[in-house]
């Protein structure tokens, strides 16, 4: 080796010496590790107790009647699943202006909660709270006569639904509606009912008016009947307003924060986690992101497992503590396999 080369390569700039075997590569990657505790699994519950409905736009994801969900969750809990995020989907119950059936006794979530608590005593159950799956107009809040969001009535209704789910057995209330002040309204109704110490609030803190929600709207039958959600979900280009949303929800008592979707919002994730390091930070890999990755792997663009673990690891490196992903069952299998090896 020439003297000139020896002089040129300073000792600390030799990188190969710290990455030439897997153990060393793992040492560099510890902050990206994924354990079952880093995963929350979104599940759709329907009224028909013994039905299972595939969702064409989300291959591998289905809507479950409660008895089918028990069958499906049992092996996942045995593999280490620690938390789920529950979404109700109705077909025979009616939808109206104020989402009456969001918290009616026949609502599939209200009926499922006590059973899920009994069957899976160690599973943490979060419930999405929103009007859109139950409202005739498909918006996430109550509308005025002019078709605008009536924010005061909306957060009152969101709080009522939250209370119903809390009383039915939810550990966590996760309001995805994006109304101003809904976190404070939910915390207040929990306090008024002495549930503030046993029911948490996972805020959909920085949730953007994204183009990545399409498959979910198929799954939950929750697309707006007219217009869009740009007047209450954050503008995709808005970083400042996202940080203001985080500050608002922290002030109002959120227990956990979230960025959603995640792929196009990793900068927001880093900023929010850096500003509020004391809060567990959730990210939601939404339906469009799920299906996009799935489709690319099916077309042979990349190996699903390698690419997905690289993507999930990037969320963790950017500050995510918990990843809400429809890939949870697959990742649980891969984690179990890795520990068997």
Residues found near ligand PB1 in the complex (CB under 6 A): 128, 130, 132, 140, 176-177, 213, 216-217, 222, 229, 286-287
**Rounded Cα–Cα distance for residues 144 and 152 (Å):** 11
The partner residues of 63 in beta bridges, in order of sequence, read 44, 53
User: How does DSSP assign 272-324, residue by residue?
Assistant: HHHH-TTS-EEEEE-HHHHHHHHHHHHTTSS-HHHHHHHHHHHHHHTT-SEEE
| In the complex, residue closest to ligand PB1 by CB | 216
From the number of C-beta atoms within 10 Å of its C-beta (0-12, 13-18, 19+), residue 185 rates as: buried
- Spatial separation of the C-alpha atoms in residues 265 and 246, rounded to whole Å: 14
Q: What is d(CA 102, CA 201) in angstroms, rounded to the nearest whole number?
A: 18
207 given a catalytic annotation:
yes
Q: Quick one: tokens of 7? A: 């002089």
Catalytic-residue membership of 118: no
Pair of tokens at residue 236: 């995709």
Cβ proximity to ligand PB1: between 141 and 184 the closer is: 141
Closest distance of CB 278 from ligand PB1, Å: 25
CB closer to ligand PB1 out of 131 and 246: 131
Least distance in Å: CB of 274 to ligand PB1?
25
Integer Cα distance of 123 and 103 in angstroms? 22
Shortest distance, position 216 Cβ to ligand PB1, whole Å:
3
Query: Which has the closest alpha carbon to 102: 36, 168, 55?
Result: 168
Compute the least distance from the CB of residue 134 to ligand PB1, in Å: 11
Q: How far is the CB of 152 from ligand PB1 (least distance, A)?
A: 19
Q: Which residue among the candidates 207, 270, 305, 340 is catalytic per the annotation?
A: 207
Minimum CB distance to ligand PB1 smaller for 204 or for 279: 204
Cβ proximity to ligand PB1, 65 vs 261, nearer residue: 261
Distance of CA 158 to the CA centre of its chain: 18
Nearest in space to 99 (alpha carbons), one of 193, 165, 26: 165
Question: Which listed residue (68, 95, 187, 260) is catalytic?
Answer: 260
Nearer to ligand PB1 (CB atom), residue 211 or residue 306: 211
Active site members: 207, 260
């Amino acid at each position: 080796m020439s003297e000139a080369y020896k002089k040129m390569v300073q000792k600390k700039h030799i990188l190969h010496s710290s990455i030439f075997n897997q153990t060393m590569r793992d040492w560099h990657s510890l902050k990206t590790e994924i354990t079952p505790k880093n995963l929350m699994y979104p599940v759709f519950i329907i009224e028909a107790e013994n039905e299972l409905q595939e969702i064409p736009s989300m291959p591998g994801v289905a809507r479950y009647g409660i008895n089918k969900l028990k069958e499906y969750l049992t092996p996942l809990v045995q593999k280490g699943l620690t938390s789920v995020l529950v979404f109700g989907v109705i077909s025979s119950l009616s939808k109206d202006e104020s989402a009456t059936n969001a918290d009616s006794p026949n609502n599939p979530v209200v009926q499922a909660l006590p059973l899920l608590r009994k069957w899976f005593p160690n599973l943490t159950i979060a419930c999405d709270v929103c009007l859109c799956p139950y409202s005739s107009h498909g918006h996430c809040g109550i509308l005025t006569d002019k078709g605008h969001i009536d924010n005061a009535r909306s957060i009152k209704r969101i709080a009522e639904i939250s209370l119903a789910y809390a009383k039915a057995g939810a550990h966590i209330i996760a309001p995805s509606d994006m109304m101003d002040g809904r976190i404070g309204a939910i915390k207040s109704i929990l306090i008024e009912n002495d549930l503030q110490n046993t029911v948490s609030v996972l805020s959909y803190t920085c949730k953007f008016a994204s183009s990545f929600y399409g498959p979910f709207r198929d799954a939950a039958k929750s697309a707006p009947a007219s217009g869009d959600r740009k007047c209450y979900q954050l503008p995709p280009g808005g970083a400042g307003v996202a940080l203001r949303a985080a500050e608002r929800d922290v002030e109002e008592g959120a227990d956990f924060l979230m960025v959603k979707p995640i792929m196009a919002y990793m900068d927001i994730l880093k900023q929010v986690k850096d500003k509020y390091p004391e809060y567990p930070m959730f990210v939601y890999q939404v339906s469009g992101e799920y299906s996009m990755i799935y489709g690319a792997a099916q077309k042979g663009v990349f190996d699903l497992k390698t690419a997905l673990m690289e993507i999930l690891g990037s969320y963790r490196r950017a500050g995510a503590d918990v990843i809400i992903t429809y890939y949870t069952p697959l990742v649980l299998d891969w984690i179990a396999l890795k520990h068997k090896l």
